[in-house]
Amino acid sequence: MIFYESLTISHKSIGLEELRSILGFKPRGLLKPLRMKPNETELAAASTVEEYYELKEPQYVDLSLSSYSVLKKNVEKAVKFLDRRFPEYRNYYRTKLQRALRNRNVDKDTVDEMIEEFEFVQQQVNEALMGFHPSSFYRKKEKICE
């Protein structure tokens, strides 16, 4: 059950990786410290679009260094498992986010719109994943976790 919980969290990490990639930003890493929601002054002070994105990027307690429920190694394994067994998750995020971005220049308004799109897509993926029974992730004789 712990691994299934890791899967439900890990798709968000995959989605954030794809969002950063599509916007042309460097990878985020799996777990980050939680931060307070930025105020208008902090957002206005962001000198680059990537700095602005860093302030606005969606946060999840389960993908933070403050998480007690999921270990980093479990998230890493779950991301690898989803990429190997269900590459559709990553492809779905990539396709939907690329379509939303189209050929626009990336500025602060675009970042806001793309974060909204990410949250919409993330909700769709979450609902699809919740429709699976945990046993559907296992094949006979397939070892998922070491």
| β-sheet bridge partners, residue 64 | 32
pTM, rounded to two decimals: 0.80
pLDDT digits (tens, 9 = 90+) for 88-114: 989 999 999 999 999 899 999 999 999
Q: For the chain, how many helices (H) and strands (E)?
A: 6, 0
d(CA 32, CA 51): 15
| β-sheet bridge partners, residue 32 | 64
pLDDT digits (tens, 9 = 90+) for 65-89: 666 555 667 778 888 888 998 899 8
Strands (E), the chain: none
Q: How far is CA 122 from CA 8, 16, 119, 134, 135, in A?
A: 11, 9, 5, 19, 22
Mean pLDDT on 49-78 = 77
